[in-house]
């Protein structure tokens, strides 16, 4: 199985309501399991990146684009990327999400002020889980 196929399978699994998946083909086997602490994303959760609309100006949410572990800082002994009250520019890193030993940066969708950090450092998050409440500048 090619790496791209594994990633595609992971994406589809993350977007589904399944808690476990086992797949085998020609001697290759893949097992995916979701722990109960990672909630399935409700259909009404906002998109991972804020769009240009009025909601974002009033105080929008930045949500998790993938399933993984939320990290507020690049390392345990370093300051958070975006603490409450911090002003950030569009594209600045707000946090990291670790999935399968790979770190993914979550960028700021716009120039904004971080109003509230909604996830806890080291906490498992699901697709669409609210991470930050922001206010556009």
- Using the structure block, give the residue that is written with the tokens 């806890």: 120
Would you say residue 9 has pLDDT above 60? yes
Residue 48 lies in a domain: no
Same domain, 29 and 93: no
Least Cα distance to 134 among 118, 126, 125, 122 occurs for 118
Predicted pLDDT of residue 32: 82
The answer to whether residues 60 and 25 belong to one domain is no
Number of other residues whose CB lies within 10 A of the CB of residue 6: 15
User: Cβ(132)–Cβ(114) under 8 Å?
Assistant: yes
The DSSP output letter for 37 is T
- Tens-place pLDDT, residues 86-129: 999 999 999 999 998 889 999 999 999 999 999 999 999 999 99
The range of the structural domain enclosing residue 103 comes to: 54-136
Domain match, 27 and 88 both: no
Provide the CATH number for the domain around residue 107. 2.40.50.100
Number of domains in the chain: 2
Condensed to tens digits (0 to 9), the pLDDT of residues 35-90 reads: 654 444 443 333 344 434 444 445 689 999 999 999 999 998 999 999 999 999 99
């Amino acid at each position: 199985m090619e790496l791209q196929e594994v990633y595609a399978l992971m994406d589809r699994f993350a977007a589904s309501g399944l808690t476990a998946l086992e797949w085998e083909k020609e001697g290759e086997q893949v097992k995916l399991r979701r722990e109960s602490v990672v909630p399935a994303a409700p259909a009404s959760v906002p998109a991972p990146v804020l769009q240009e609309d009025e909601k974002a100006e009033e105080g929008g949410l930045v949500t998790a684009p993938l399933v993984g572990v939320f990290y507020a800082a690049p390392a345990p002994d370093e300051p958070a990327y975006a603490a409450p009250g911090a002003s950030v520019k569009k594209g600045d890193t707000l946090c990291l999400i670790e999935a399968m030993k790979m770190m993914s940066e979550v960028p700021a969708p716009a120039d904004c002020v971080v109003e509230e950090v909604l996830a806890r450092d080291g906490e498992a998050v699901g697709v669409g889980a609210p991470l930050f409440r922001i206010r556009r500048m």
